[in-house]
Structure 1
Amino acid sequence: MNVSMAADIPGRGPEALARLRAMTIDICEVIPHTAEDDFHVTTVTMMTRNALLIDTRATDQDYDRSAAHVARGVMDHFQITLCLEGEMKFGSGRREVTLRPGDIVLIDMAQPNRTALRAAGGRTRLMSIVLQRAMLAPRLAHPDAATATLLPSNHPHARLLASHYAALALRSGPGTDTATGHAEATVEAIADLVAAAAGGTAEIVAGLARAERHLYITLIKRHIANNLETDPLTAEELCRHFQISRATLYRLFEAEGGLAHYVREQRLNLAFRRLISPSAQDGRLIELAVDMRFSSDSTFIRAFRRKFGLTPGELRELADAWLRETGAVPAVDTVLHQLARRRGSRP
């Protein structure tokens, strides 16, 4: 079980142990398995609209959640916990599982349980998605029997799910925007996959392909966005990286006009952003074309004009004029709106 101290604040020694016990007195009993001077726990808590994400690093310790703790009603949630480092042993009733790096477990906090963290003198690291019961229970055919469901690291969905934990942490951290609903949709899809593994309702099982598609395409699109200038982003490379078949990859991008079309569109969008940036005013178009993996500057210019209705040079001039007149770099949406109005006013 993971419990959250103040975000981004490490706790060490007897004072940290006392503070953690005070904060979790109604949730569980904390039992250290190190000398109090060696006790350590660090938790970082992040939020989306429909979940909490908790990243915990801790020395060897146990969390004992008794029937008396459950009766206090402080936590009536499910949590989906990924082990990243060390070892976590979890037991609830007669069900016991052991997590090692890459393993994932579903935990019902409305039932008594005991968690043991062991890392052979190091730190156990866990990431947990905490969901309200009202969100996950309706997805389960038998909600009261789902606790301690283990997805081992070699489970077909474990690697896919684990890949999204770090991404959710980045999207939910300071300075990021979760208002688009993208992180929320990812949490919903994660809940669907875990529910299916734990014995989902007929509706959840029937919709499993949809949840898989969302998680795969989100993961692949994020990889593409991060590697527009550095990788060829071919079907072969993406299939190898994500361990999926070419047919699956092509199906994922059918609605996007195909993989090659999607990658080219994203590179043109990146080129657009680069061209309206003051730092790009003196750059050569051929260098930008090469960075965007076009075979020549003429190929790049033709593709750019088809997409945006003007050449890269014309966009650069427009952005430069805007900067001189307003003293500010134009936002992408502002420029696109201007271009749309210009096209609409043409006879």
Structure 2
Amino acid sequence: MPEENNVPHRPPVSVERRRWPRVSQEPLGKDENTAASLVALRFETESLPRPEQFPAWREHISSLAEARLPDNVAPDDGFPVRQAVWNLGGMLLLQQTVPAFSYERSLDMVRFSPLDHWLITFLRTGRSWTGIDGRVTENEPGMMEIRSLGNPFSGRALESESLTLIVPDDQFADRGGLPPASSNTVLGGRRVKLMYDHMVGLETNLGSLAQDDLPSIKSRLLEVIFDTTTPFLNRGGESERVSQIGMMTRARRLIRKNLISSDLTPDALSRELAISRTRLYELFESVGGVAKYMRQHRLLAAHRMLADPSDRRTIAEVSLAIGYDSAANFSRAFTQQFGYSPSNIRTHRASSDVQVDVRLENNAVTFDGLLQTLGVHT
């Protein structure tokens, strides 16, 4: 056999020939500035003495509901809670681990609270039972619970780990509101799994997100929530209840559309909806009446104006714009609503190129403060 047949075969060497030099393209976003990354508001009770743990938790969530211990548990037993609250620029994301407890949002709480936010909860562990008007829903891992703070409710939960979105009702205004039958429902199936996977993906990246990311993230979340709920809940049935909630949605939409108009009055709203003044009051009875609802949302509109660095109107001009004939009366109503004065916002608002982060008098953001001003910066 010839000797050259014993030489191992080698593939030809590829020689790259170019007319122009190569220009490397760096991946977009690789060196993105993360100095303005989101920071969570964290709450925990494990560092407190055991008898103080449950009272601290009860006070912490007092804007949402009244919390109670199970019958077989005493305050001295301790109540270890861990919670992280992320402000997504108009909605909150809560990561939470909490022992068993019961809860109630009474009619009086609803009547005197400005909150009409939606709670959208995924349980990772545990189970809960919530009742409204005798209808009890059961939530468990793999399901999605929707509940409105605009309705009274009560229930109990086992020790659980959960992921919850708190979204003001107004955030869905451009989509016509959530379907009327949404409150106190539990959904399951592939659409819910897709939404949960979306939430987990967002959760994984929370620490690396910046304020500039929030508008697109919020828009996508609202779209996913709406697309998840609508196929289940835009159906007939429960006609009287659905009709009432649908009328409330129409009324709220008209109020938002004409909020700063001097022509917006309860009588004008009654005529537009073709219902009696008594019927209109009944629709808003759970939030203290239609006049109170209008006043609260006008004050929220004033909050937006005062917090906007590009809005140069004085406090007196803002008060006139939302229908107050006296700056002193406006300041009094504003302070009663939010817990701080209009001038406090002007003192603490940031420059125009930074998202406004309104803080309380002691410069400390609280969970209650976030709930009260949630959706103001939209």
Q: Look at both structures and tell me which one has the larger radius of gyration over its CA atoms.
A: 2
Scaled by the length of structure 2, what TM-score is found? 0.46
Scaled by the length of structure 1, what TM-score is found? 0.49
Structure with the higher fraction of residues in helix conformation: 1
